[in-house]
Amino acid sequence: MARKGCQGVQPYVQASDCQRPWPSPCHERITSLVEKTKRLAALRRKANRDKRISVVLFSFPQCRLQ
């Protein structure tokens, strides 16, 4: 099944007023960042008594250098 959404950095596009190419924006990542920012702003406006907290514990396997 093909994955939908952002597939990483898009090919470079030439900026009309610049001599060097710039990466094109990934609209899915921009939308995701905007949504996260909105949720963070809403959380900051909430009273502490209305906030909930969760703790996520995770571990990565250790790499052994040889």
* Tokens found for residue 17: 């007023």
Q: What pLDDT sits at residue 56?
A: 85
Residue extents of the structural domains in the chain: 12-45
Which pTM does this prediction carry? 0.51
Q: What pLDDT sits at residue 14?
A: 55
Q: What pLDDT sits at residue 1?
A: 45
H or E stretch at 36: helix 27-45
Average pLDDT, 10 consecutive residues per value, the chain (66 residues): 54 57 76 95 94 83 64
- Residue 41 to residue 35: CA distance in whole angstroms: 10
